[in-house]
Chains A and B, each alone.
Chain A
Amino acid sequence: MSVTPSDIEKVALLARLAIAETDLPDVTERFSRVLSLVNELNTIDTDGVIPMSNPHDMEQRLREDRVAHPSDREALMASAPAQQDGYFLVPKVID
């Protein structure tokens, strides 16, 4: 499986990354190298093997339904690039 610049552009959009036209060939080439590395996976038969998400196959612990102490909005929003009246601000979105 090889990758074209157009493929890279589609993936980049999904990931919200902008790749300059001039960089695209290079990015594609380097990406292809990684893909070649990864394509090694095609050579092993894993029929019937259960995929592993957590190395110890642990089970989820449950938390009591209780309200924790209130969070500090000011402290948490101190890093906000744009805020007003308690809202985070982004350029206007039209639905």
Chain B
Amino acid sequence: MSWEIVMGLEVHLQLATQSKIFSGSSTQFGAAPNQQADAVDLGMPGMLPVLNEEAVRYAVKFGLSIGARIGKRSVFDRKNYFYPDLPKGYQVSQFFSPIVCEGVFDVPLEDGSLYPIRITRAHLEEDAGKSVHDIFNHETGIDLNRAGTPLLEIVTEPDFRSAEQAVAYLKALHSLVTYLGISDGNMAEGSMRCDINISLREKGSRELGTRTEIKNVNSFRFVERAIHCEYERQADILDTGGRITQETRLFDAEQNTTRSMRSKEVANDYRYFPEPDLLPIVIDESYIDTVRQSLPELPAAKRARFVAEYDLTEYDTNLLVPNHGVADYFEAVAKSSGAPKLAANWILGDLSAALNRSELSIDANPISAERLAGLVSRISDGTLSSKLAKQVFEALWNEEGDTDEIIAARGLKQVSDSGALEAMVDEVIANNPDQVAQYIAADEAKRKKLSGFFVGQIMKASKGQANPQMLNELLLKKLEDQS
């Protein structure tokens, strides 16, 4: 039986603030255990939370970027449960009145279409610490450095119908939050964590099946695999007339299965109630306007503009836009060189390949936008042939200087001087009378082939620097004259 898969995603985004959401501890990654956990983070007796203004701003930024309604009066609530990495025995979150209410996020799919995902809400909460099970023999170690890091939990409606859509959403979300500058959105590093709620139902049915929650899947690839895994598992059960147990499961990448989370088996009654140590966050229109004005150009708008302004293909645009570092780089090169399409080709082609080979991100790119623009310009104005340009690119990558310096140093200037070219053409024609005779005797199709011989000779003579277009024009004309 073929089942329809219905999914909703909950993404926990670590916000890239300097300090934690309720304390002044640093949020920097990599400190020694418990070095970045102050008395508030440790939940010591008598300690109280104070709200970080930047976390609020980041949340509002996100809400505005998806056209969501901003909660003008949002409240923190205590979510009560016991776990050693939860120091207070409750997590401060937002249950009843989140800071970001309903919105819609248009997800660009592979085929270029936009798939609207309804965002139910996004709310602020604090992260828990880390439990480390593999350092000590008989104990679990608790590190509370992460406890108190601000999180934005983004919840969607169950609008996903395929793993592809889910992955596209996560990629688009990653792109959006890096554009906004509110998070690294890095699944592998844990700054973007995804929980997937999956249920199956008969095609055509309007009812929702019993769902399971797959937690903490930490890469796009794993998301895809986990979804397929869980679909298979649930389909098997349903096919044999069984019932799905509502539970939380973990994806096991090695076994390619999902398994039930033991510690979550005890049904948790979180007993949410308004956090009395914090007061409602009251946000007015002028604050919202200020934040709105500070929004950068978002991916969707940038895509549209790139196509209109630079006449790029949608395909190229979809590759250039998601990473705003790349997008900014492209624009700088395009503007400086005045040749956007050429710029796009070089960035998506040679530069991209070089970066991947060296495992560098765009931020560590050794070729500045100015320098790449220089190369693109010289191709565009005919100084360099594409072949020679590749040589120059290598030199730029090795930081040998800028394009003009390299051209001069290596004498790579493309010969576009018609006089010089003419001289070369004349010489080759004079030195190869038999080939000239063959050419004259040949028909259209054969002539095309034979002209290649002359081109090759001239290229050899000019050490590849002859301007191919000009050369062809001159050659054909001169050969015509011979007949």
In the complex, which residues of chain B have a beta carbon less than 8 angstroms from the beta carbon of A68?
A: 19, 23-25, 38
Q: How many A-B residue pairs have CB under 8 A?
A: 128
The answer for the CA separation of A92 and B137 in the assembled complex, in Å, is: 8
B136 within 8 A of A: yes
Q: Are A60 and B279 in contact (CB under 8 A)?
A: yes
A42 within 8 A of B: no
Could you tell me how many residues of chain A have their Cβ less than 8 Å away from some Cβ of chain B? 35
The answer for the CA separation of A78 and B271 in the assembled complex, in Å, is: 32
Q: Are B142 and A14 in contact (CB under 8 A)?
A: no
Q: Are A59 and B282 in contact (CB under 8 A)?
A: yes
A49 within 8 A of B: no
Q: Which of B290-307 contact A (CB under 8 A)?
A: none
Q: How many whole Å from B136's CB to the nearest CB in chain A?
A: 7
Interface of A is mostly: loop
Q: Which of A48-95 contact B (CB under 8 A)?
A: 51, 53-54, 58-68, 70-71, 73, 76-77, 82, 84-95
Bitwise, B107-142 to A at CB < 8 A (1) or not (0) is 000000000000000000000000111011011111
B325 within 8 A of A: no
The answer for the CA separation of A13 and B142 in the assembled complex, in Å, is: 23
Q: Are A65 and B84 in contact (CB under 8 A)?
A: no
What band does the interface of chain B fall in when counting residues whose beta carbon is under 8 Å from A?
35 or more
B482 within 8 A of A: no
Bitwise, B68-97 to A at CB < 8 A (1) or not (0) is 000000010000001010000000000000
In the complex, which residues of chain A have a beta carbon less than 8 angstroms from the beta carbon of B135?
A: 85, 87
Q: Are A66 and B18 in contact (CB under 8 A)?
A: yes
Q: Are B262 and A65 in contact (CB under 8 A)?
A: no
In the complex, which residues of chain B have a beta carbon less than 8 angstroms from the beta carbon of A51?
A: 274
Q: A73-B35, A84-B141, A93-B84 are in contact. Are A66 and B279 (CB under 8 A)?
A: no
Q: Which of A60, A85, A90 contacts B280 (CB 8 A)?
A: A60
Least CB separation from B132: chain A residue? A87
Least CB separation from A64: chain B residue? B53
Q: Are A66 and B142 in contact (CB under 8 A)?
A: no
Bitwise, B49-60 to A at CB < 8 A (1) or not (0) is 011111110000
B17 within 8 A of A: yes
Q: Are B19 and A66 in contact (CB under 8 A)?
A: yes
Contact residues of B with A, CB < 8 Å? 17-19, 23-26, 32-39, 42, 44, 50-56, 75, 82, 84, 131-133, 135-136, 138-144, 250, 261-263, 266, 269, 271, 274, 276, 278-282
Contact residues of A with B, CB < 8 Å? 13-14, 16, 51, 53-54, 58-68, 70-71, 73, 76-77, 82, 84-95
Please name 27 pairs of A and B residues whose Cβ atoms are closer than 8 Å in the assembled complex, sorted by A.
A53-B274, A59-B280, A60-B279, A60-B280, A60-B282, A62-B53, A63-B53, A65-B18, A68-B23, A71-B37, A71-B39, A76-B42, A76-B44, A77-B34, A84-B136, A85-B33, A85-B135, A86-B35, A87-B33, A87-B143, A88-B142, A88-B144, A89-B136, A92-B140, A95-B250, A95-B261, A95-B263
